[in-house]
Amino acid sequence: MSEKIYVNTASCGLLSKESIAAATAFLETMQTNASKAAETIRDEVIERIRSKVASFLDAPVQQLAFLPNFSWGLNAIVQSLKGNEKVLLYNNDYPSLTAPFKINGFDITWIEDKDGFGIESEQLKQMLIENKIDLLVISHVQWLSGFKLDIDDIGAFCKEHDILFVLDATQSLGAAPIHISKQHIDVLICSNYKWMNAGFGTGILYVSESFMNKYPPVVGGGNSYKIEHEVSNYVASVKNFEPGHINLHGLLVLEKAVDYKLERGIASIAAHNHQLLQALISGLDKSLILGAPDLHYRSSILVLKDPGNLFEYLTNHGVVTIKRGNNIRIGVHFYNTAEEIQQLIKLIAAGIA
């Protein structure tokens, strides 16, 4: 067992030595031939990374953009909207998701959870229809509870009723399978510093062709132009959402993270995480667990109610996690082991004794 038990990927994922080496090699080259180093990544490497991300997401490569973070992407998407759309949001969703719609004065309908955890699918569907919603904007996995939305079911429903589906995948991508080609998602946005294990400064945006046709981008930069015969011509595409010179060393970190996940397989990673989460649930007093003690509506996050000083006890005994309100959020990922989970169960039992 390692000296510390790191179960805080829901806050920030660990970087691999391969990712660190790739970024370091690039930054070292920047010391001696910066322009050459940057041009090589810009002209030869970025599209290779984009293709790998497209494969990972099972998405058309021409509909993917690289972002600095989730917030940039969502705000840019919001600016493409007309402003009169009716939007359905979850009241306890991450503030970065809800703020742009509140700030810009959209007509918002709010859905609440059940017992601080679950969002009822049938209630969600009913509200979408009754309120004549144009746009559902929601997180795949909720940051405060670990609740995972059934995006296959909800996406199909939205498509059937001509409702646009915008998904925040920051708390799921890298830990839960997403197949854009099979799921009816109009816009997917995520930051890469959590379950993608790619550090800060990069994000991913997928925008469907139909969404782009209905809501052309109203932001742009150098990547909005195509140079032919030394003449720059404006060509509106998903690359409008790439704001100028993007984070080159961050994309190299992302590439190595995606390489690992493609090699191991996202289904294998999800199965590993579920196995660890199931062992954790089985070993705990069920009264500590927020939500139903099963995996049907969970990705890789388990939230525990803190009966007193459990968080402080775990921290003092080498467990790296985080407290949100009166709850403790635990996130398990591919680098966690069965031995760590058994040790964690013992520590939780000792901490509440």
Provide the mean pLDDT of the chain: 95
Reported as a single tens digit per residue, the pLDDT across 181-201 is: 999 999 999 999 999 999 999
**Per-residue pLDDT at 8:** 98
pLDDT > 70 fraction of the chain, expressed in percent and rounded: 99
Q: What is the pTM of this model?
A: 0.95
346: its two tokens: 């013992």
**Per-residue pLDDT at 134:** 98
Instruction: Band the pLDDT of 170: cuts 50, 70, 90.
Output: very high
Check whether 161 has a pLDDT greater than 90.
yes
User: Averaged over 12-41, what is the pLDDT?
Assistant: 96
**Per-residue pLDDT at 1:** 41
User: Averaged over 113-141, what is the pLDDT?
Assistant: 96
Reported as a single tens digit per residue, the pLDDT across 286-297 is: 999 999 888 889
Check whether 80 has a pLDDT greater than 60.
yes
User: Averaged over 303-316, what is the pLDDT?
Assistant: 96
Check whether 2 has a pLDDT greater than 70.
no
Check whether 325 has a pLDDT greater than 60.
yes
**Per-residue pLDDT at 353:** 81
Reported as a single tens digit per residue, the pLDDT across 326-352 is: 999 999 999 999 999 999 999 999 999
Check whether 98 has a pLDDT greater than 70.
yes
**Per-residue pLDDT at 70:** 98
Q: Which segment of 9-18, 53-62, 225-234 scores lowest on mean pLDDT?
A: 225-234
Reported as a single tens digit per residue, the pLDDT across 138-149 is: 999 999 999 999
Q: Which segment of 142-151, 220-229, 270-279 scores lowest on mean pLDDT?
A: 220-229
Check whether 221 has a pLDDT greater than 90.
no
Give CA–CA dist 322/11, Å, rounded.
8
Instruction: Band the pLDDT of 41: cuts 50, 70, 90.
Output: very high
Reported as a single tens digit per residue, the pLDDT across 231-276 is: 888 888 999 999 888 899 999 999 999 999 999 999 999 999 999 9
Angstrom distances, CA of residue 309 to CA of 9, 266, 306, 313, 348: 22, 36, 7, 6, 11
User: Averaged over 53-76, what is the pLDDT?
Assistant: 97
Angstrom distances, CA of residue 90 to CA of 37, 45, 139, 350: 44, 38, 9, 36
